[in-house]
Amino acid sequence: MNRRVVVTGVGLVCGCGIGTDEVWKNIVAGKSGIGPITHFDTTNFDCRIAGEVRGFDPLNWIEKKEIKKMGRFIQLAMAATDFAVKMAGLQVTPEIADSTGVYISSGIGGFDVIEREHSKFLQGGPGKISPFFIPAAIVNLASGFVSIRYGARGPNSATATACSASAHAIGDAMKIIQRDAAEVMIAGGAEAAITPMGVGGFAAMKALSTRNDEPERASRPFDAQRDGFVVGEGAGVLILESLENAQRRGANIIAELVGYGMSGDAFHITQPAEQGDGAYRVTLATLKDAGVAADAVDYVNAHGTSTTIGDAIETVALKRAFGEHAKKLAVSSTKSMTGHLLGGAGGLEAGISVLALRDQILPPTVNYENPDPACDLDYVPNTARKAELRYALSNSFGFGGTNASLLFKKWEAR
């Protein structure tokens, strides 16, 4: 388990842009990707805003005849993977195909496909259901299509652990490389749940912001006037490699993945555990896995969804895990700009954390205007800033009390 795992490629697609460079530029600029929903008629909906990927044309990445076989989450994963593979300069040759795996997760999968095909069934009966319905909708087909596209014949998997799904994918992929079961893993997650049932379901739980007249100001993690999260869509994919493989092929190494932790709240189906117990323990597990002291961490990309309970409890968990050092931590939630990608959030935010280390820039939490006494850390309010960063932690917490954290390190050859 002593093999070093490095990041050589990052692929990002979300409401803040299509492509890693565009997303990162807008994140650093504090530019929100949230606006009115255009995917469907929201007339009767309490929440009418989301972080849509606007202007996305799957034909830029997928042959026309293949598009009908893929739900939107798969299409977004294909695009993000293309950006990651190109950044990494990765070619899956026959020599490395068996040691190149794919682990791309989703919390919900093809909601759009399920709704569309169910409507066709109701209107015309079972004969109207597409033969591609199942493969276009099921969660693991993002990994399946990516593996087929690149000829990656190594480990192939996916998790559906709610909002921790893609963080689990990246962490599990790291362990696959560490135990010498692969040299390269294409890992991350994707989600496309901006659909009538997706938005309607979260709204029914009273989980969503209803700041419909000010969409860019609606997602406001840690702010005293936060009123719920904003659904986002997109994908985040990393290219992970053993250090030996990356060096052998002369790859440009962006960062190192040094720690991964998991925990379960065993508390409630949607609410986090009291005193942030699950988040606290997953942070300790990640630091233990990395062999890194708490006071070495410089930045936390928080789960920070903009919910009243969640943000306050995550703050408690960070103070418990980091003690006095919590006062020196920079903590930001980029969901303030991207919205919440659900199962794709961990992949997107892991990529953002890697880029923060690469460029030594702290991404901001925008819309932080009204301090909340229950949230009293440095949330990098509203404006990105330069900083000396060595370790960055990325947090993901999911319904059912499933938690994941990833610890990245600035690349140092040592």
- Residues marked as catalytic: 163, 303, 340
Which residue reads 């938005």 in tokens?
199
Task: Write the single-letter amino acid at 95.
Answer: E
CA atoms 168, 12, 191, 298: torsion sign? positive
Contact criterion met (CB below 8 Å) for 345 and 231: no
Write out the two tokens for 373.
């006494």
CA atoms 364, 107, 290, 307: torsion sign? positive
Categorise residue 253: left if φ over 0, alpha if ψ from -120 to 50, beta otherwise. Answer: beta
Which residue reads 């990356």 in tokens?
246
DSSP calls for 274-328? GGGHHHHHHHHHHHHHHT--GGG--EEE----S-HHHHHHHHHHHHHHHGGGGGT
Angle, helix 308-322 to helix 277-290, in steps of 10 degrees: 40
Contact criterion met (CB below 8 Å) for 171 and 159: no
The C-alpha atoms of residue 128 and residue 403 are separated, in whole angstroms, by 40
Task: Write the single-letter amino acid at 60.
Answer: N
Task: Write the single-letter amino acid at 84.
Answer: A
The C-alpha atoms of residue 348 and residue 12 are separated, in whole angstroms, by 6
Write out the two tokens for 208.
């969503």
Cβ-based burial of 291 (10 A; exposed 0-12, middle 13-18, buried ≥19): exposed
